[in-house]
């Protein structure tokens, strides 16, 4: 049978009229055991990477967007709107195109990765670049969505988080239980909440014997939850999580506490080192924000956090191709040579 996408796969959890379903057959992403990172950093754990960059628009946002857009269509809506650091706008634009409705996306000018901007544009969204940051963009779209006929699809839309909890379902199905720890990057703080709700749901239904401790990581220059204050001018190389006033701040704090986990921060240098490491030793190209979870894992392991033998899942939230500038900036320049065997051999090393 063809894989039908998340709504039909998890119908009882995501109720919506069949004729309203809008899907790009998102979900069912691979969970890979990491061998390279474990070896390189001497991690005393069993580490699994959930490759959310392999969703149709290249990030985990598609899980929530299929449900949010389907519910919007069910209600007869003709337009959706969101603010975004990039991935939400790419996903909203694609699902709106599939649904045949309008999408308006508002992003911080010059502060989103080019790949993400190109997605919103080619899918036909109306794109607004505001002279301000994500938090200011979100305030604008929240106001606009108070008008009739236009639905907000940021993660304050409850359907987004309901769709996103399916990633936890898939992990439990793949591992046969929930892991001991789940490490995840935190921006607007919706995904950490969605995962925990998904794990809790499967735990309550007896499909998992335990719930993981949820461990979230913000970038140090954009760490409002960790520092317990709104950051007016958030900064980080990980543009997807450059957020100073997260929409799901309180629920995320509660999830971290209730699960026995925490929310911590990692420096940009640690994020970039993790970003490079996962690409070079495991072969997975994720975007910088995604590497915050790996940077956090390496940091905690160095501090002696793990006893040994724990099962840990790290979510790689978005694909590296969205932001190739970062990869190019970090890497050695290619050799430019004559198109002759000797010219290549002269530089070749192995
Ligand atoms: C790759 O697209 O907020 O903590 O507007 O794109 O659930 O916000 C993106 C967030 C992590 C943080 N990794 O997730 C947006 C946006 C990637 C992301 C996050 C984002 P949340």
Q: Which of 317, 322, 326 to mutate to test the pocket of ligand 1 (most atoms within 8 A of CB)?
A: 317
- On whether the CB atoms of residues 14 and 67 are closer than 8 A, the answer is yes
CA quadruple 302, 304, 306, 308: dihedral positive or negative? positive
> Can you tell me which atom of ligand 1 is nearest the CA of 90?
2
- On whether the CB atoms of residues 285 and 291 are closer than 8 A, the answer is no
Identify the H or E element spanning 48: strand 46-51
- On whether the CB atoms of residues 50 and 175 are closer than 8 A, the answer is no
Is the distance from the beta carbon of residue 64 to the nearest atom of ligand 1 less than 6 Å?
Answer: no
Phi, psi of 128 (to 5 degrees): -115, 130
From start to end of 79-154, where are the E strands? 79-83, 102-108, 126-130, 150-152
- Angle in degrees, CA 314, 319, 324, rounded to 5: 130
> Residue 350: what pLDDT?
86
Cα 219 to the center of its chain, rounded Å: 14
Please, which residues bridge with residue 222 across strands?
A: none
Q: Mean pLDDT per 10-residue run, the chain (350 residues)?
A: 95 98 98 97 98 98 98 97 98 98 97 97 98 96 95 97 98 98 98 98 98 98 98 97 97 98 98 98 98 98 97 98 95 96 94
pTM (2 decimals)? 0.97
Q: Choose among 277, 316, 322: nearest CA to 299.
A: 277
- On whether the CB atoms of residues 192 and 165 are closer than 8 A, the answer is no
Is the distance from the beta carbon of residue 189 to the nearest atom of ligand 1 less than 6 Å?
Answer: yes
- Angle in degrees, CA 334, 338, 344, rounded to 5: 60
Identify the H or E element spanning 344: helix 341-347
Is the distance from the beta carbon of residue 241 to the nearest atom of ligand 1 less than 6 Å?
Answer: yes
The residue behind tokens 């899907």 is: 23
- Distance between CA 269 and CA 179 in Å, rounded? 28
> Residue 132: what pLDDT?
96
The SS3 of residue 264 is strand
């Amino acid at each position: 049978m063809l894989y039908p996408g998340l709504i039909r796969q998890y119908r009882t959890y995501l109720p919506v009229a069949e004729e309203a379903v809008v899907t790009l057959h998102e979900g069912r992403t691979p969970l890979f055991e990491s061998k390279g990172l474990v070896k390189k950093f001497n991690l005393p754990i069993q580490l699994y990477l959930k490759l959310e960059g392999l969703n149709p628009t290249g990030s985990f946002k598609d899980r929530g967007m299929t449900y949010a857009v389907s519910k919007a269509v069910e209600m007869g809506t003709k337009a959706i709107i969101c603010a975004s650091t990039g991935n939400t706008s790419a996903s909203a634009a694609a699902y709106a195109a599939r649904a045949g409705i309008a999408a308006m996306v508002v992003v911080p000018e010059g502060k989103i990765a080019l790949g993400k901007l190109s997605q919103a544009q080619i899918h036909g969204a109306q794109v607004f670049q505001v002279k301000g940051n994500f938090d200011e963009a979100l305030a604008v779209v929240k106001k606009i969505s108070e008008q009739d006929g236009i639905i907000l699809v940021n993660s304050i839309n409850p359907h987004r988080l309901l769709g996103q909890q399916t990633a936890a379902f898939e992990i439990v199905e793949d591992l046969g239980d929930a892991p001991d720890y789940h490490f995840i990057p935190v921006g607007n703080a919706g995904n950490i909440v969605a995962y925990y709700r998904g794990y809790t749901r499967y735990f309550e239904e007896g499909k998992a014997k335990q719930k993981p401790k949820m461990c979230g990581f913000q970038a140090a220059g954009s760490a409002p939850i960790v520092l317990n204050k709104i950051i007016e001018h958030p900064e980080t190389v990980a543009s997807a999580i450059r957020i100073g006033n997260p929409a799901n701040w309180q629920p995320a704090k509660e999830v971290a506490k209730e699960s026995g986990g925490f929310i911590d921060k990692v420096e940009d240098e640690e994020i970039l080192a993790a970003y490079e490491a996962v690409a070079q030793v495991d072969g997975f190209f994720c975007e910088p924000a995604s590497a915050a979870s790996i940077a956090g894992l390496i940091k905690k392991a160095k501090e002696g956090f793990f006893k040994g033998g724990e099962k840990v899942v790290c979510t790689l939230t978005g694909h590296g191709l969205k932001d190739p500038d970062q990869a190019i900036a970090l890497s050695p320049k290619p050799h430019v040579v004559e198109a002759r065997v000797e010219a290549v051999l002269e530089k070749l090393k192995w």
